[in-house]
Each structure stands twice: as structure tokens, then as C-alpha cells.
């Protein structure tokens, strides 16, 4: 066992991860706030507006804002910001990927050599995460328009956990990690 931190024993690899992950996640996370992402959020809003219209939801788009008719006869305004773009999912995935080492040829806790391949390129997962995020936004907006603000917030909350599971699944697949 490696060092003890706050009374917990961690291996050298775990300590290395705990040092790297916050840097690899929080620096890009805060850095994206320094730039104007209107071109991206407007493009996403255009896609979502078209998808909502195809599903029968009357709406108008103004830049990154979608104004749509809800089920109760009123209207809702949705402002798609950079956090809606999938950037946070992608940053989290890349932070996990680069904060964890290469497990090929390493020993497990029982002294046996892990039989894994070299990690897959992280870049092949980014389009998948982006497309998943587009579907997540569409589901969230459609639920909100159909069932109201509470349902929208509940869906948004639940889908953040689904987002996290998708990110972890992509990371595990890229690094050839098997759970269980």
C-alpha cells in the first residue's frame, strides 16, 4: 500500500489519479467560461428546434434561445448555454482518460498480471458523447413542454446521472476496464 491520506491508504496509482483528475477536469471546465460559445450553442439550439418541430412542438429560435409552446397553452423559453453543449461530459471523459494510467501489463491486487490491450484513442468517443448529449437535450425539452417545469427539472436531474454513467462506460471501454 502507498501513502496514507486523511487516514486512508492509497496505492501510488490512486494517489496519482487523485492529483491529476482535478487538474485535468477543473482547468478546462473553468477555461470554457473564458470564451464565447454562441456559435456552438446556437447550432445546438437550431438542431433542437428542428427536432422539436419534427416531434410536433411549435417553437421559434432566437440564437441559442428556443421559445416553445407548452402543453398548457403557454410558452417556455430555453436558453442553451455552454454547459448544455456536451462540453462538460467531454471534459469529464478526457479528464478520466488522461488521469488514469495504462493498465496493460500491470499487476492487480492479487499479484496477477492484467491481460488488457493498449487503451483505445479517446477521440473516437467524443462524437458519441456529443450525439448522446443532443438526444438528452431533446428528451429534457420534450418532457418539459409536455409535462411542465417540475418534470423538466426532474428529467434534467436524472439525465445528469445517466450522462455520468455514459461517460464512465466510455472511459471503461476506452481503457479496457471490466467491472465486477
pTM for the predicted model, two decimal places: 0.85
Structural domains in the chain (count): 1
Decide if 35 is inside a domain: yes
- The yes-or-no verdict on residue 95 having pLDDT over 90 is yes
Q: What confidence score (pLDDT) does residue 158 get?
A: 97
What value does the mean pLDDT take over residues 105-110? Answer: 56
pLDDT above 90 coverage of the chain, percent: 73
Decide if 170 is inside a domain: yes
**Domain range enclosing 116:** 4-175
Going by pLDDT thresholds of 50, 70 and 90, the confidence category of residue 103 is: low
Decide if 88 is inside a domain: yes
Please give the mean pLDDT across all residues of the chain: 89
Decide if 71 is inside a domain: yes
Decide if 180 is inside a domain: no
Q: What confidence score (pLDDT) does residue 133 get?
A: 97
- The yes-or-no verdict on residue 114 having pLDDT over 60 is no
Decide if 123 is inside a domain: yes
Q: What confidence score (pLDDT) does residue 15 get?
A: 87
* pLDDT digits 0-9 by tens, 129-162: 999 999 999 999 999 999 999 999 999 999 999 9
Q: What confidence score (pLDDT) does residue 39 get?
A: 97
What value does the mean pLDDT take over residues 29-54? Answer: 97
SS (H, E, C) the chain: CCCEECCEECCHHHHHHHHHHHHHHHHHHHHHHHCCCHHHHHHHHHHHHHHHHHCCCCEEEECCEEEEECCCCCEEEEECCHHHCCHHHHHHHHHHHHHCCCCCCCECCCCCECCCCCCCCHHHCHHHHHHHHHHHHHHHHHHHHHHCHHHHHHHHHHHHHHHHHHHHHHHHHHHCCCCC
Amino acid at each position: 500500500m502507498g501513502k496514507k491520506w486523511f487516514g486512508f491508504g492509497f496505492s501510488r496509482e490512486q494517489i496519482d489519479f487523485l492529483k491529476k483528475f482535478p487538474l485535468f477536469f477543473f482547468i478546462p471546465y473553468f477555461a470554457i467560461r473564458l470564451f464565447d460559445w454562441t456559435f456552438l450553442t446556437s447550432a445546438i439550439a437550431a438542431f433542437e428546434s428542428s427536432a422539436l418541430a419534427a416531434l410536433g412542438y411549435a417553437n421559434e429560435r432566437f440564437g441559442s434561445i428556443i421559445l416553445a409552446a407548452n402543453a398548457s397553452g403557454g410558452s417556455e423559453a430555453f436558453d442553451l448555454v455552454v454547459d448544455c453543449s456536451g462540453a462538460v461530459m467531454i471534459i469529464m471523459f478526457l479528464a478520466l482518460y488522461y488521469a488514469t494510467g495504462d493498465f496493460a501489463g500491470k499487476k492487480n491486487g492479487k499479484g496477477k498480471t492484467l491481460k488488457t490491450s493498449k487503451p483505445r484513442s479517446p477521440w473516437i468517443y467524443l462524437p458519441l458523447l456529443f450525439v448522446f448529449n443532443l438526444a438528452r437535450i431533446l428528451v429534457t425539452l420534450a418532457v418539459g413542454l409536455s409535462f411542465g417545469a417540475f418534470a423538466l427539472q426532474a428529467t434534467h436531474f436524472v439525465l445528469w446521472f445517466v450522462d455520468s454513467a455514459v461517460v464512465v462506460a466510455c472511459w471503461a471501454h476506452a481503457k479496457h476496464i471490466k467491472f465486477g
